Amino acid sequence: MRISEVKSTTREQRIASHTHIKGLGLRDDGRAHAQADGFVGQDSAREACGILVDLIKSKKMAGRALLLTGAPGTGKTAIALAISQELGPKVPFCPMVGSEVYSSEVKKTEVLMENFRRAIGLRIKETKEVYEGEVTELTPEEIENPLGGYGKTLAHVIIGLKTVKGTKQLKLDPSIFESIQKERVTVGDVIYVEANTGAVKRVGRSDAYATEFDLEAEEYVPLPKGEVHKKKEVVQDVSLHDLDIANARPQGGQDIMSMMGQLMKPKKTEITDKLRKEINKVVNKYIDQGIAELVPGVLFIDEVHLLDIECFTYLNKALESPISPIVIFATNRGMCQIRGTEDIIAPHGIPIDLLDRILIIRTLPYTQEDIKAIVQIRAKIEGLTLTDDVLNDMAVTGEKTSLRYVIQLLTPASILARTHGREQILLEDIKEVDELFYDAKASALTLTKYHSSYVP
């Protein structure tokens, strides 16, 4: 008989470059902690970004741009991600790289505008008549098939709903039972059913069923208050790009819910400027009526020096639009040629007229103590154990080479330690791995020394 162990279905989190970043790590007065939320160092840059986050939250930053400048590996992308963490999950954050605009199929300006629209959220509030409660009964009732044959057909579904104030038994159409099955509703779940459309939404499992054995398996919610039949404000978050895609081939009316109904349609045509203007008109109309609220998010363009002069000209116009997100640029270049021109040299490869509109924040190289603290945080995130002499050696190596290089040594060193039957990484493991791999500076020196041996 063969017995095999069943692996847990719990999703393991992939450890990425910036997994340890949880926020900007600021105190209540806006000052930066020396070490907090996975961030170490860059105090002035983090404090400046804290002010930026406050401006975004108070909706006084729309249409402006920020530029993060600094050497490679000084935390520019980490700061942009930290800003998105501070803003919360409901504020759209759209990251892209400058090279993404170059495509043989889509125009450069179209790629930029698409990402602009992805970074602008729309929060739609609607009061709906709903039946809400914990499911106490779920009984499908069948009848003989009127078309003949041996099979039976579903006549209706009896569903019992319970709230704090009382209970109600509903008789639902068979089509609603399909929605219930899609949502995987069972007895004990808290759901709501829209009275007009019959749409079913599973909120979670009733907290009466929570036990110490399955606390992490489900999202538990309290028993709904009030009556089963009530009016409820339903909030839905979409981006303007979602509305563009939904209305590329419009069907039905031009009201906000007709737009929402098209979101799941797979067909897509090129989105024209005229269509976007029409969508903006409808969006502005519903904002004025108080049905919807605009949520300007963040568009993060890394390696902005890779954009060309046409893209920069387009950005000048896009930033002035009344519907515009907060744009964060990042670059590690100094004085360089603007792409798309032959002889125009500008700071960071960005035209002076656009640079004049942008707030600039500088990131500084990390000190030895900062590198040591960051390596310690990364080791903790990756579940590795380091000795003190390893930390000190990596801090010295990181200052000579780069922070990225020493962090990349951690995983190979852990594999080497496990090969030798140890859980703890020792100095000899780091030394051995360091000899196996080249850092960027060592590689450049080797190329310079032996340049005659390589093909020119």
Listed by start position, the domains of the chain span 35-119+297-362, 120-291, 368-449
Give per-residue burial for 150-182: e unless 16+ CB within 10 Å, then b: eeeeeebbebbbbbeeeeeebebeeebbebbee
The pLDDT confidence band at residue 353, using thresholds 50, 70 and 90, is confident
**What is the token pair recorded at 390?**
């390893």
Mean pLDDT across the chain: 81
Diameter of the chain measured on Cα atoms: 89
Question: What is the pTM (predicted TM-score) of this model?
Answer: 0.68
Rounded CA-CA distance 171/186 in Å is 16
Instruction: From the options 1.10.10.10, 1.10.3720.10, 3.90.1150.10, 1.10.8.60, give the CATH code of 368-449.
Output: 1.10.8.60
pLDDT in tens, 7-47: 444 444 456 667 667 788 888 888 888 887 778 888 888 89
Q: What is the pLDDT of residue 347?
A: 92
Q: What is the pLDDT of residue 267?
A: 47
Same topology between domain 35-119+297-362 and domain 368-449: no
Better-predicted residue by pLDDT, 358 or 234: 358
Architecture of domain 120-291: Beta Barrel (2.40)
Tell which residue, 7, 44, 13, has the closest CA to residue 26: 44
Paired strand residues for 206: 221
Q: What is the pLDDT of residue 254?
A: 54
Q: What is the pLDDT of residue 215?
A: 44
Mark residue 236 as left, alpha or beta (left: phi above 0; alpha: psi -120 to 50; beta: remaining).
beta
pLDDT in tens, 426-453: 888 888 888 888 888 888 888 888 888 8
Q: What is the pLDDT of residue 386?
A: 87
Q: Length of the chain, please?
A: 456
Rounded to 5 degrees, what are φ and ψ at 435? -75, -30
Neighbours of 252 (CB within 10 A): 11
Rounded CA-CA distance 21/239 in Å is 25
| 257-261: average pLDDT | 58
Q: What is the pLDDT of residue 67?
A: 92
| 372-393: average pLDDT | 86
pLDDT in tens, 316-327: 888 888 778 889
pLDDT in tens, 121-157: 888 887 778 888 898 888 888 777 766 666 677 778 8
Architecture of domain 35-119+297-362: 3-Layer(aba) Sandwich (3.40)
SS3 384: coil
Q: What is the pLDDT of residue 216?
A: 47
Q: What is the pLDDT of residue 193?
A: 86
H helix intervals, 303-362: 309-319, 352-355
| 234-259: average pLDDT | 71
